[in-house]
Amino acid sequence: MDMAIKTFNLTKKYGTKIGCAEICLRVPRGQIFGFLGPNGAGKSTLVKMLVGLLFPTSGKALLLDRPLGDTGVRARIGFLPENFRYHDWLTGQQLLEFHASLYGLSGTEKKRRVGEVLELVGLAGRERQKIHTYSKGMRQRAGLACALLPDPDLLFLDEPTSALDPIGRRDVREILVSLRASGKTIFLNSHLLSEVELICDAVAFIRQGKIIRQGSLEDLQTGDITVEMKVGNLTREMVNTLSSLARSLEVRENVLMARVKREEDIPRLAEAVVTGGGDLFEMNRKRSTLEEMFIRTTGGGEEIC
Amino acid sequence: MLTMIGITFREGLNRKVLLISLVLAAIFLGLYGTGVHYAAKSFNESPNPMLASVVYPQLLSFGLYFGGFIVSFLAIFSTVGAISSEIETGIIQAIITKPLRRRDYVLGKFLGLGLFLALYSAVFFTVIALIINLKTGLVLEGQWKALGLFALQPVVLLAITLYGSVVFPTIANGVVMFMLYAVAIIGGMVEQIGWLINNAGLQQAGIVTSLVMPVDSLYRKIVHLLLSPADNPLNALQQMGPFGSMAEPSVWMVVYALLYVVFFTGLAVYSFNRKDI
Ligand SMILES: Nc1ncnc2c1ncn2[C@@H]1O[C@H](COP(=O)(O)OP(=O)(O)O)[C@@H](O)[C@H]1O
Ligand SMILES: [Mg+2]
């Protein structure tokens, strides 16, 4: 597959402190890639290396087949920094024109793109206002607009919805999905799983600077199946049978949580309860959502907002 | 890079620093103009050509000295956070990730601010020269060269402050640059005293400081350019005092100042090219 991003053992150390270590990623073109991890895991560090703010301690990376440090390729890359701050004494229009010039756009093309992105992020009509009068959400939209100016093939977004309300978040998701439809690649940093889960094709989990899991959303979600059962007349014998069927079993009074490997194991569980003389009041299959997995893989307990 | 020059220039115009400097300049030039006016008036009423030919040049040097002070103040204040504050606020992150070489970012800052400062100081110089010329009729030699050197003063400070802005946080940079500037000023005075009492130690101390920070010696050179017709018997008297210039800095001092600018701008580019943001 054609890759928009390839990294080879990319490592950044701040002195002796690890920012991120030995990151090997493959992000195919045309996908939305979610980079997930708790705060301080090293997400921003990786993105900053990729967009050229930080110099890697070791390792290599290719963006759109060009090595890091190639300034030419940046005309095809958009970046929304985490702590977006812009010249707030400019108006929205002036800010976008400035960024368009930095992207090398000029004349009518500049005017056209500025108008288009204002429309796209929903700031049309507010472009004559100075940035310092914008709300936080509007600033984030303005930042996104700047990143979209060159109609980039590759877009890096570091926590793009942190300042947005639910409507704003939905708007951003819609923008991202429509960008993907036109073949763009999007690299999305987030500690909000619910965000990523809805739109990403593939994800990687990072914790303490190391990638602990990565893959397509489908692959990652076909893990174990969790089944919750409410059982009356529970006997020790029955629990033993169920444990031998399931990969793990949790018993809380009359509620049982069983994790099984395959779908075919679900009716077996029911059978074991019935033949063992129990009363099966309720049986639910729980999908292993990304969130559960996220908490599992990152060990829970971390600051997950 | 043109984009960077443009935004930097506009930023310079937008800053509070400019307003403060304009107010300071207006107050200063107002007071100065009034002072020169009354001095000229009293000499016109009771002519004393001898005294006038000592006092007028002293008035001129005084004006240029404090004018240089204001221009330097503006140079340091407008440059001190040129890069560091953009790093501190994060504004820089969306800029240097654009298809723009880091070198062009630094040079754009340098040229934008340099243009702004040079224009400001050129206007300042012209106003002082006009006041003196119109009120006292003192004929100034080498005006254009002097104007060039006067505009070079803030550029010298710009170069080293911009470098500081790459390697230090804004506040630390401000402290360091003002200390350097103070060293130059004091060094310049010490050197004048050195010439006055003919003390080689003080003279050398002055020379060393002007190598560290050549702003003050540019000022001394300007005063010489403007007031030094070779056959002027009063020259020594005109150049006396803290604002005068008893020993003319050589042309090499000017060359040194130019190299100084090039060196620190280059160093700023070099350091910035390797900097983690
Ligand atoms: N400039 C820096 N100097 C030292 N440590 C840093 C610096 N930037 C980030 N770190 C550390 O590197 C780790 C990863 O940070 P970061 O990439 O910002 O995490 P995330 O974006 O996932 O929240 C954190 O432990 C953070 O404290
Ligand atoms: Mg981060």
Is the distance from CB of B217 to CB of B156 less than 8 angstroms? no
CA distance B118 to A303: 52
Question: Relative to the CA of A42, which ligand 1 atom is closest?
Answer: 17
Is the dihedral angle over the CA atoms B159, B164, B166, B167 positive or is it negative?
A: positive
Residue ranges per structural domain of chain B: 2-274
* SS3 state at A203: strand
Cα nearest neighbour of A13 on chain B? B276
Contact assignment for A85 to B91 by CB distance below 8 Å: yes
Fold of A225-287: Alpha-Beta Plaits (3.30.70)
Q: What residue's CA is closest to ligand 1, atom 12?
A: A19
Q: What is the mean pLDDT of residues A279-295?
A: 75
The CATH class, in words, for A3-217 is alpha beta
Q: What is the pLDDT of residue B190?
A: 86
Backbone φ and ψ for A62, nearest 5 degrees, come out as -120, 130
Contact assignment for B99 to A103 by CB distance below 8 Å: yes
A253-263 residue pLDDT tens: 888 888 887 77
Whether B230 has a pLDDT exceeding 60, the answer reads no
Is the distance from CB of A242 to CB of A269 less than 8 angstroms? yes
Q: What residue's CA is closest to ligand 1, atom 27?
A: A40
CATH 3.30.70.980 residue ranges in chain A? 225-287
Backbone φ and ψ for A230, nearest 5 degrees, come out as -110, 115
Reported as a pLDDT band with limits 50, 70 and 90, residue B177 is very high
* SS3 state at A35: strand
Residue B274: its chain A contacts at CB < 8 A? 55
Q: Which residue has the higher pLDDT, B188 or B163?
A: B163
Q: What is the pLDDT of residue A298?
A: 61
CA distance B62 to B76: 21
CA distance A111 to A104: 13
Reported as a pLDDT band with limits 50, 70 and 90, residue B152 is very high
B16-48 residue pLDDT tens: 777 887 888 899 899 999 988 888 888 878 777
ipTM of this complex: 0.81
